[in-house]
Amino acid sequence: AGGGNDIQWCFSQVKGAVDDDVAEADIISTVEFNHSGELLATGDKGGRVVIFQQEQENKIQSHSRGEYNVYSTFQSHEPEFDYLKSLEIEEKINKIRWLPQKNAAQFLLSTNDKTIKLWKISERDKRPEGYNLKEEDGRYRDPTTVTTLRVPVFRPMDLMVEASPRRIFANAHTYHINSISINSDYETYLSADDLRINLWHLEITDRSFNIVDIKPANMEELTEVITAAEFHPNSCNTFVYSSSKGTIRLCDMRASALCDRHSKLFEEPEDPSNRSFFSEIISSISDVKFSHSGRYMMTRDYLSVKIWDLNMENRPVETYQVHEYLRSKLCSLYENDCIFDKFECCWNGSDSVVMTGSYNNFFRMFDRNTKRDITLEASRENNKPRTVLKPRKVCASGKRKKDEISVDSLDFNKKILHTAWHPKENIIAVATTNNLYIFQDKVN
């Protein structure tokens, strides 16, 4: 987007139940496009993964891109019980990460609080028929009734998409897993919990290497936890992790086996004019994402999105306020627990625009080149395909103009925590509590 050709976002699809009564298991907890953008995966609180596939573009009518339809649904994680600690382990899917496609099958990693699983999603469109010893329904024939021999052949069948767990990476995390990230070598990946980061090989499930450990000897001295971690998109030895104190550490695995000493520490000094009772907890970083180029990284804290140049540690190069009008409401947001909400953020394919969610089912986009930002709403009210979304505006104080919404009218139960941007095109997936919205740019 630049010059006079700003993107106009249009409603494309919405997935999920219509009724307002949200079943807790249906709450969407993660959204992720695969590397080609053809597949879109969601995970929910009930431990389910739903994968949507984009229809092949209709070459004749190319005024809209293909729709996303359900491709596969499977139960990834089940609730478990840790008998030693008398704790239930939630089945909620915290993160999904796709592997790049190597053959006909697709692979993804999904994780809950304690266990990571590698899933293979494969298509089956033919099946063998004509066995000598088995009937078509699988029952074994009496060998004495076999009088002739035939060679079984493959016959076409209705497409079936199967998901099977190929690896289960368990028992490596004492605390709750918040991130997984696949390395650019496509052989290893990291998983991070509150205090530790482990390195895994995709083929090996009974061993992982601990590469970061910030657990203090005396837990009473604990002052910060790890909130997110990600591998660099190009350098297979580099990863970053963010903390609850608003810092990001970049580590190089070549430096030492245990990367407790960072190579770089990214931290912005606090603005004294913004100090408040809650400043400490709102500086906690809820998400960190490298740009596709690998030159920048983006962090999300409660009120803002920051873009960091990897070559400059002392401050971000860009800061975007997501919902600054909430700064004076932090006490109320503490009371209703919203201050603990963990918003994610994402880059577009060309790293020129970033997106993140807010409340009232609003989501925000910031164009890094034009410095323009826009607020849009994910709502079923605009649900005619190709309806252009109208920009929304929140009135912080004073006179509310027409079409503006005042801060006190915002619905804090309607929050957009998870968003994803197609890696190549202007298609975005935005998750409200239990619905998935897909928006596309207007194609003339």
Residue ranges that bind other proteins, judged by CB under 8 A: 79, 85-90, 113, 175-176, 194-195, 219-225, 227, 244, 270, 272, 275, 277-278, 280-281, 284, 331, 334-335, 337, 340
- Residues 263, 313: contact at Cβ < 8 Å? no
Q: How far is the CB of 115 from other proteins (least distance, A)?
A: 13
C-alpha to C-alpha distance for 388 and 391, rounded to whole angstroms: 9
- Residues 155, 127: contact at Cβ < 8 Å? yes
Nearest CB to other proteins, comparing residues 24 and 404 = 24
Nearest CB to other proteins, comparing residues 88 and 162 = 88
Nearest CB to other proteins, comparing residues 136 and 220 = 220
Q: How far is the CB of 175 from other proteins (least distance, A)?
A: 5
State whether residue 378 is helix, strand or coil. Answer: coil
Which residue intervals of 233-285 are DSSP H helices? Answer: 279-282
Nearest CB to other proteins, comparing residues 12 and 433 = 433
- Residues 112, 148: contact at Cβ < 8 Å? no
Q: Determine the Cα angle at 274 with ends 269 and 279, to 5°.
A: 80
Q: How far is the CB of 286 from other proteins (least distance, A)?
A: 10
Nearest CB to other proteins, comparing residues 70 and 222 = 222
Strand partners for 377: 362
Nearest CB to other proteins, comparing residues 189 and 302 = 302
Q: Helix/strand/coil (H, E, C) string of 140-198?
A: ECCHHHCCCCCCCEEEEEEEEEEEEEEEEECCCCCCCCCEEEECCCCCEEEEECCCEEE
Q: How far is the CB of 18 from other proteins (least distance, A)?
A: 27
Phi-psi region of 50 (alpha: psi -120 to 50; beta: other; left: phi over 0): beta
For the chain, the maximum distance between any two Cα atoms, rounded to a whole number of angstroms, is: 91
Phi-psi region of 429 (alpha: psi -120 to 50; beta: other; left: phi over 0): beta
Nearest CB to other proteins, comparing residues 113 and 230 = 113
Q: How far is the CB of 439 from other proteins (least distance, A)?
A: 32
C-alpha to C-alpha distance for 158 and 71, rounded to whole angstroms: 13
Nearest CB to other proteins, comparing residues 193 and 367 = 193
C-alpha to C-alpha distance for 314 and 308, rounded to whole angstroms: 9
Nearest CB to other proteins, comparing residues 177 and 253 = 177
Q: How far is the CB of 280 from other proteins (least distance, A)?
A: 5
- Single out the residue of 222, 223, 240, 218 nearest to residue 231, CA to CA: 240
Question: What backbone phi and psi angles, to 5 degrees, belong to 366?
Answer: -125, 120
